[in-house]
Amino acid sequence: MEEVLLARWQFAITTVYHFLFVPLTLGLSVLVAVMETLYVKTGDETYKTMTKFWGKLFLVNFIMGVVTGIVQEFHFGMNWAEYSRFMGDIFGAPLALEALSAFFLESTFLGLWIFGWDRLSKKMHVTCMWLVAFGSNLSAFWILVANSFMQSPVGYALRNGRAEMTDFLAVITNPYVWGQFPHTILGGLVTAGVFVTAISAYYLLKQRHLPVFRPSIKIGLACMLVSTLLVMGTGHLQAQFLAKKQPMKMAAMEALWESADPAPFAIAVVVDEKNKKNSFEIGVPGVLSLLAYDKFSGEIKGINELQAAAEAKYGPGNYTPNITQSFWSFRMMVVAGLWMMLVATLGVFFLYRKRLEDNSMVLKLLLWSLPVPYIANSTGWILTEGGRQPWIVVGLQKVSEGASTNVTSTEIWISMIGFTVLYGVLAAVSIYLVRKFILAGPFDEKPVLGVLTKKKEATLWN
**Ranges within 431-450 binding another protein (CB under 8 A):** 433, 436-437
Handedness of CA 65, 142, 90, 148 (dihedral sign): positive
Quote the least distance from Cβ 435 to another protein, whole Å.
Answer: 12
**85 touches another protein by CB under 8 A:** yes
**Ranges within 44-83 binding another protein (CB under 8 A):** 59-60, 63-64, 66-68, 70-71, 73-74, 76-79, 81-82
**Ranges within 279-338 binding another protein (CB under 8 A):** none
Which one of 197, 200, 397, 415 is in contact with another protein (CB under 8 A)? 415
For residue 373, the surrounding DSSP H or E stretch is helix 372-386
Q: Which is nearer to another protein, 67 or 290 (CB)?
A: 67
How many helices, marked H, and strands, marked E, lie in the chain?
A: 17, 6
**Ranges within 89-148 binding another protein (CB under 8 A):** 89-93, 95-101, 103-105, 107-112, 114-120
Report d(CA 185, CA 191) in Å as an integer. 10
Q: Which is nearer to another protein, 104 or 352 (CB)?
A: 104
Report d(CA 121, CA 334) in Å as an integer. 44
Q: Which is nearer to another protein, 293 or 437 (CB)?
A: 437
User: How many binding residues for another protein (CB under 8 A)?
Assistant: 72
Q: Which is nearer to another protein, 88 or 441 (CB)?
A: 88
CA 70 distance to own-chain centroid: 18
Coil, helix or strand for 267? strand
Q: Which is nearer to another protein, 84 or 324 (CB)?
A: 84
Quote the least distance from Cβ 236 to another protein, whole Å.
Answer: 33
DSSP 8-state class, residue 73: H
Task: Sort residue 100 into left (φ over 0), alpha (ψ -120 to 50) or beta.
Answer: alpha
Q: Which is nearer to another protein, 13 or 105 (CB)?
A: 105
**Ranges within 384-413 binding another protein (CB under 8 A):** 404-407, 411
Coil, helix or strand for 270? strand
Quote the least distance from Cβ 444 to another protein, whole Å.
Answer: 14
What separation, in Å, do the N-terminal and C-terminal C-alpha atoms of the chain show?
51
Transcribe 397-450 into DSSP letters.
EEHHHHS-SS--HHHHHHHHHHHHHHHHHHHHHHHHHHHHHHHH-SS---PPTT
**Ranges within 161-190 binding another protein (CB under 8 A):** 162, 164-166, 168
Which one of 159, 295, 435, 455 is in contact with another protein (CB under 8 A)? 159
**207 touches another protein by CB under 8 A:** no
Q: Which is nearer to another protein, 94 or 321 (CB)?
A: 94
Q: Which is nearer to another protein, 120 or 210 (CB)?
A: 120
Site string for another protein, 237-256 (x = CB under 8 A): --------------------
Q: How many CB atoms lie within 10 A of CB 244?
A: 12
Quote the least distance from Cβ 139 to another protein, whole Å.
Answer: 11
Quote the least distance from Cβ 387 to another protein, whole Å.
Answer: 26
Report d(CA 26, CA 28) in Å as an integer. 6
Residue 150, judged by CB atoms within 10 A of its CB (0-12, 13-18, 19+), counts as: buried
Q: Which is nearer to another protein, 355 or 435 (CB)?
A: 435
- Supply φ then ψ for residue 339, to 5 degrees: -60, -45
Query: Count of alpha carbons within 13 Å of 262, Cβ hemisphere only?
Result: 18
